[in-house]
Amino acid sequence: MADEPLVLGIETSCDETGVGIVHGTTLLADAVASSVNDHARYGGVVPEIASRAHLEAMVPTIQRALDTAGIKATDLDGIAVTAGPGLAGALLVGVSAAKAYAWALDKPLYGVNHLASHICVDQLEHGRLPEPTMALLVSGGHSSLLLSSDITSDVRPLGATIDDAAGEAFDKVARVLGLGFPGGPHVDRTARDGDGKAIAFPRGLSASNDPAYDFSFSGLKTAVARWVEAKRRAGEEVPVADVAASFQEAVTDVLTRKAVRACKDNGVDHLMIGGGVAANSRLREMAQQRCDRAGIVLRVPRPGLCTDNGAMVAALGSEMVRRDRTPSAFDLSADSSLPVTEVHVPHTEFHAHAHESLR
């Protein structure tokens, strides 16, 4: 472990200010300051509130991570930060902080992709990822199937949602049922008392002529809302637990079926599931059952590493340092629509000369 890189990672793509410190594939600190309670009354994340919360939480959260890890900032081998995708203002706070720390400490800076970080975080729990690995990333902003041949440079998108992300559908259905925000945990808990087969909600893009690896949850969300509305109009009691369980069953059925198919079609025998929705108990259960039947090894991080956090950014940054990837320039910018094919934003020759002239 003595030669393994010691990297600090900063994550601010949405409403969590996350700072992680990783030594190789060993997690030393995972400090999170969440502004979720500030957004709950609005039923969703308000970008301006998120950005302000990041600004206020940044320095104390970094210091908390350093204290937890028992190190000084000068001990670090690099600083990694989520450069995108995400909320532009929120990303900008994290990128600005990372550049300031890297500049002041004279450490290499790595602007990395949020989605690739969600894949790489599994290394902190289950060891280094096999190459290739299939990744199913499901969260409030993303539902994607990705094939990773090299987590630091080669992540290829196979499919994604064409409308709502899975986590977004959970939030909207939770609102229809009068549950709390964020919807995922509330639907999961409520569904445990329901019957997942009680209501036959639709499975989007599941016909034989539909795109094999794309997802659609908008129709499902609408079907749930109309079913509940019809019950209420008729003066009947809404079986909230059954609705939650049946909705959850529809989502997890499509996600796991397409993920296993992608593994089979591409000859990949390892499936990694990440993102906030990966904490869902039914998704984990169904994925394990289907992977076992298909002879696929399933890797899912513990729930605390599935949601947005700095540890995942530090994990990818550590891999960047270990594989001697080119650092980012100090004019690194936040990119709210950064494609997953850009795992990190490198230090170009032009940027190198510009940086040296500034020095």
Q: List, in order, residues 6 or more apart from 125 with CB less than 8 Å away.
A: 301, 302, 305
Report the C-alpha gap between 177 and 198 in whole angstroms.
16
Asked whether residue 228 carries a pLDDT value surpassing 60, the answer given is yes
- Annotated binding-site positions: 114, 118, 137-141, 171, 184, 188, 280, 308
In contact, 259 and 273? CB cutoff 8 Å: yes
Residue-wise DSSP of 262-296: HHHHHT--EEEEESGGGG-HHHHHHHHHHHHHHT-
DSSP reduced 3-state for 56? helix
Residue at 137: amino acid letter: L
SS3 content of the chain, % helix, strand, coil (to 5): 45, 20, 35
Say if residues 22 and 7 touch (Cβ distance below 8 Å). Answer: yes
Which ranges of the chain would DSSP assign to H, the alpha helix? 36-40, 47-69, 88-105, 114-120, 123-126, 166-176, 183-191, 218-233, 240-266, 281-294, 303-306, 310-322, 349-358
CA distances from 127 to 5, 121, 134, 318, 357 (A): 15, 10, 16, 13, 41
Pairing of strands 109-113, 6-11: unpaired
Q: Which residues are annotated as a binding site for Fe cation?
A: 114, 118, 308
Which pairs from 235-243 meet CB under 8 Å and 24+ separation? 238/177, 239/194, 239/198, 240/177, 240/178, 240/179, 240/190, 240/194, 241/190, 241/191, 241/192, 241/193, 241/194, 241/195, 242/194, 242/195, 242/198, 242/199, 243/173, 243/177, 243/194, 243/198, 243/199
Residue 45 has pLDDT above 90, yes or no: no
- Residues 79-96 have a mean pLDDT of 97
Residue 351: per-residue pLDDT: 40
3-state SS class at 113: strand
What backbone phi and psi angles, to 5 degrees, belong to 73?
Answer: -60, -30
pLDDT attached to residue 294: 98
pLDDT tens-digit readout, 166-217: 999 999 999 999 998 889 999 999 999 999 999 999 999 999 999 999 999 9
DSSP state of 196: T
pLDDT at 354 over 60: no
Higher pLDDT, 42 or 334: 334
Binding residues for substrate: 137-141, 171, 184, 188, 280
What's the angle, vertex CA 141, arms to CA 139 and CA 145, rounded to 5?
65
Which pLDDT score is estimated for 232?
Answer: 97
Q: What is the per-residue pLDDT for 142?
A: 87
| pLDDT, position 158 | 98
C-alpha torsion sign, points 233, 237, 240, 243: negative
Q: What's the rounded mean pLDDT across residues 161-169?
A: 95
